[in-house]
Amino acid sequence: MTGFLGRLAADHVRAGDPTGWFEPLYASGATVPWDVPQASAHLRAHPLPPGDGRRALVVGCGPGRDAEHIAAAGYATTAFDISPTAIDLARSRHPSTAVDYVVADLLAPPPEWHQAFDLVLESNNIQALPRPIRAAAIAAVGSFVAPGGTLLVLAAASVTGDPEGPPWPLTSAEMASFAVDGLRLLSLTQTAAPDSRLNTRWKATLTR
């Protein structure tokens, strides 16, 4: 990807700080491409069972639109991001929110989140991380899922145009690699998303 975001990401990846570009990006006030008015169309198209107060965790929540969608389905929702500015933005966008917005790092999460959530959403975050740190990030996502819980993974499978990331689409091997440490794949689909630069999309559901 070219432009400010692409240069910022490339500079940080080159400097060995592959997650260090998100905070300066949000803090710059630049419009990030994933800051759209509604929850992800792919999340909205996924039938969520009523939460009935069960716990949900939204990984890399950004400005919070997906977290608000999940909370509205009745889940006691925690949502986290590595960027303090993104968390401030999520809180200010949703002043009456029931979501607990938290600054945290997927690669060093709070120990009490281990297998603590009935629903975990990973949407479009792993694809923004360079390949060498993905195995650890994927394992961390899976570690949040409680016994009997569900992990929903939404991700780019391919992009059109400029092949320089981010995003760096997930391979089928990376999608399969969510199914470790007692997690098993319930479904894995790849669908066309012709209106988007991320022109094919993965959706996986897993349980433990």
Ligand X SMILES: C[S@@+](CC[C@H](N)C(=O)[O-])C[C@H]1O[C@@H](n2cnc3c(N)ncnc32)[C@H](O)[C@@H]1O
List of residues contacting ligand X (CB under 6 A)? 19, 22, 34, 40, 60, 62, 80-83, 86, 105-107, 123-125, 128
Residue number, 105 or 162, with CB nearest to ligand X: 105
CB atoms within 10 A of CB 175: 21
Q: Which residue is nearest to ligand X (CB)?
A: 60
Length of the chain in terms of residues written:
208
Q: How far is the CB of 1 from ligand X (least distance, A)?
A: 11
Q: How far is the CB of 200 from ligand X (least distance, A)?
A: 16
Residue number, 52 or 160, with CB nearest to ligand X: 160
Q: How far is the CB of 148 from ligand X (least distance, A)?
A: 24
Instruction: Give start and end residues of each alpha helix (H) in 17-83.
Output: 22-27, 41-44, 65-72
Q: How far is the CB of 34 from ligand X (least distance, A)?
A: 4
Secondary structure (H, E, C), 138-160: HHHHHHCEEEEEEEEEEEEEECC
Q: How far is the CB of 82 from ligand X (least distance, A)?
A: 4
What whole-number distance in Å separates Cα of residue 122 and Cα of residue 113?
Answer: 15
Residue-by-residue DSSP string for 98-124: -SEEEE--TTS--GGGTT-EEEEEEES
What whole-number distance in Å separates Cα of residue 9 and Cα of residue 113?
Answer: 28
Residue number, 34 or 185, with CB nearest to ligand X: 34
Residue number, 77 or 125, with CB nearest to ligand X: 125
> Helix, strand, or coil here: 97?
coil
Residue number, 34 or 115, with CB nearest to ligand X: 34
Q: How far is the CB of 60 from ligand X (least distance, A)?
A: 3
Residue number, 36 or 176, with CB nearest to ligand X: 36
Nearest CA to 207 among 155, 165, 145?
145
